[in-house]
Every structure is written in structure tokens, then in C-alpha cells.
Amino acid sequence: MERLVEKTTESAEAAGLTGSLDGLRFRPMNSSDLSEVIEIERASFAYPWSTNFFLQELKVGCARSLLAVVGDRPVGYIIYWLLQHEIDVHNLAVHPSYRRQGIGKALLEAVIEEARRQRANRVTLEVRKSNEEAQKLYQALGFSAKGVRTAYYSDDGEDALIMALELEGPV
């Protein structure tokens, strides 16, 4: 199967992460993972991305992904764009059975480390204004609110909070 995103495989330990979950490792997502990724997506969001949307997103030249795997089972993922001086997170989800074990935090920390390696000066994301749990996670990692995108979510018209983590790096 075609590899959607090229990136070196990275384990949680190699990224300097210690989670409460033994055997957690990260690798790039590929097309053979999409059925399990869609299962996580549907369990996580009222308005999930479609398989075609995932395929389109991951074929963008600057798109990157990390799949969190325990044993052989995908349990979470993050999709982001690696831009010239910035990383923009587009999607993050953890299977409900594996939440509150540090997997989402570990995925974000791995992306933040990638931003530092690439000398990016910020990591950005949008989050539903109603998703206070996610906002708390982002704030705990140093993200702060930068603005609001009114009616950002086309499925229900909810506003998005723009959050950013400012890093030391080129301007």
C-alpha cells in the first residue's frame, strides 16, 4: 500500500516521553491504517472526517502524521502540517478506551519536539469553544488563546478558539 506521509518512525521513548502505557510507540500513518483511524475518529467526534477527507489531507505535501500504537493496535493519531516556520495541527484523537493515559499529550509533545527540530517558531491549532477538556490539555502544554474563528465548523457553525504555542526560533 502507498505510504501517505514520509517520516521516520519514532517511539515514545525516543521522543523522551514516559507514559503510563507500556509499549506505546509512534509511527507514520499509512493507507492500511485508515479503517482503524476512522473507527477512532467516529468514536471521538460527533462530526467525523470521512475516509476521503483523510486521504486528501494526508496527500498534501506538507502533511505529516503520527499514529500511536499499543501492540499492533492503533489507539490515537495526530495530523499536522509542517510549514516554513510553523506547525499547524489539523486533527488529534485518542480511542475512548485509551483516554486519560497520556497518549494525546504524548502525541502533542512529539509534534512540539518536531517543531523544535525544524526550528519552527510556533505550533497552532483550532479547537471547538465547547471542548474545554482539550483546551485544558493544550494550556497545560503552554498553548494560549490567540483569537476566535467565528462559525469555523461547517457541520454545526460552532466557533473555534485559535490556540498557539510560541517557541524560540526564526521569525
Domains of the chain: 10-166 (3.40.630.30)
Q: Note the pLDDT tens digit of each residue in 29-56.
A: 988 999 999 999 999 999 999 999 999 9
Contact assessment for residue 100 and residue 21, using Cβ atoms and an 8 Å cutoff? no
Looking at residue 10, what is its pLDDT? 40
Amino acid making up residue 23: G
Question: In whole angstroms, what is the distance from residue 5 CA to residue 28 CA?
Answer: 7
Residues designated catalytic: 126, 138
Q: What does the block give as the cell for 62?
A: 506538507
Alpha-helix residue ranges (DSSP H) falling in the chain: 34-44, 51-59, 103-117, 132-140
- Computed over every residue of the chain, the mean pLDDT equals 87
**Residue that wins the pLDDT comparison between 13 and 111:** 111
Amino acid making up residue 154: S
Q: What angle do CA 138, 23, 108 make, to 5 degrees?
A: 15
**Residue that wins the pLDDT comparison between 95 and 11:** 95
* Percentage of the chain modeled with pLDDT above 70: 86
